[in-house]
Chain A
Amino acid sequence: MITVEHVLALSGLLFAIGALGALTRRNLIVILMCIELMLNAVNLAFVGFARAWGDLGGQVVVLMVIAVAAGSVAVGLGIVIALFRNRDSVNIEDVSLLKW
């Protein structure tokens, strides 16, 4: 029998791995992938709690998150392509105009 603790442990582990990658990697595309991984970890927690309470609202939220993630990937990769055209690089260190 799978318990909510199992699901939450895996969800937290995946979120931590994704956050680690998003904070330490320098390749913009890999950072976008890590953000997708973090969204997936949150989805897993939603599905686990939907099962625990027998409430379908959690699964509906997951469908919404998947749609939002697909939109964010499309726009994010569009930005990456536009940046690559201007700077010939996807290194995050070359795109620090808004950093203070």
Chain B
Amino acid sequence: MSAELFFFYVFAALAAGSALAMVSNLRNTVAAALSLVVTMVSLAGIYVLLRAHLVAAVQIMVYAGAVLVLFVFVVMLLNLREDVFPPARLRPFKLAGAALGAVGLAGFLAALAGHVPDMAAVPESFGGYREVGRALFTDYVLAFELVSLLLLAAIVGAVVLAKRRLEP
């Protein structure tokens, strides 16, 4: 087993384990948010293994840095350290739906088998800030500008929502 694959398994186990810890944590919302941080950082490690260095850096800065701080901030602000709501109960109807979903997934995987591509040979600079930046500002410049518009709308929306007292 190569070192690359070994680290992939380490990060994958960390990501999946902490994701499960987040979903199954019924007592402490702050701890659930911190589990999500571990998932995000592990995914950033996997991005590095897949030669996406810029995406890994952005993942840590935006997700582990900004988004999760926002989550913890809101949990603290609303004083929700105790998560008192019981999760939904499983009923036979829902179990049947889950079984149907599993059958659909199995069919999808069977159709996919044999059609997945192999890893291509990529240059050393693949996924660095220079190459991604060039792609972002030439081929995908329209999408980039539209995202800036979306972020402006999100800022205005968040300020309006958090500031105004909604009529009941």
Contacts and interface: CB of A to CB of B under 8 A. Distances in A.
Given A17-B23, A47-B52, A74-B155, A1 B119 contact: yes
Nearest to B13: A10
Given A4-B116, A36-B36, A66-B58, A85 B83 contact: no
Contact of B8 (A6, A40, A50): A6
By size class, the interface of chain B is 35 or more
Contacts of B136: 60, 63
Majority DSSP secondary structure for residues of B touching A:
helix
A77 B71 contact: yes
B146 to A, nearest CB: 9
B22 A78 contact: no
Contacts of B12: 6, 10
Interface of B: 2, 4-5, 8, 12, 15-16, 19-20, 22-23, 29, 32-33, 36, 39-40, 43, 46-47, 49-52, 54-55, 58-59, 62-63, 66-67, 70-71, 74-75, 77-78, 80, 83, 85-88, 105, 116-122, 126-127, 131-132, 135-136, 139-140, 143-144, 147, 150-151, 153-155, 157-162, 164-166, 168
